[in-house]
Structure 1
Amino acid sequence: MAKNDVKLLGAWPSPFVMRARIALNIKSVDYELLEEKLGSKTQLLLQSNPVYKKVPVLIHEHKPICESLIIVQYIDEAWSSGPSILPSDPYDRAIARFWGVYIDDKWFPLLGGIGKAQGEEAKKAAVDQVHEGLMLLEEAFGKCSKGKDFFSGDRIGYLDIALGCFLGWVRVSEKMNGVKLLDEAKMPGLASWVEKFCADSAVKDVMPDTDKLSEFARMLIQFKANAHPPAS
Structure 2
Amino acid sequence: MKKIILLITLLVCATVPVFSAENVHDIKVLAGNERFFDVSLSDINLLKFPYDVKEVKTSKKLSMTIEKSNVFLSMGAHNQPVELFVVFNTKELKTVNIILVPKRIPSKTLTFFDSDKKNDAIVDAEKSLPYEVALRNMILAAKDNSNDGYFSKKIQGNHKKTSQLFLQQIKELAGYRFRLEVWEVKNISGENLYLEETDFYVHGMRALSLDTNKLDIGKSTKLYIVYRTND
Which of the two has higher C-alpha Rg? 2
TM-score by length of 1: 0.25
Give 1 or 2: higher helix fraction: 1
Greater RCO, 1 or 2 (C-alpha within 8 Å, sep 6+): 2
Greater strand share, structure number: 2
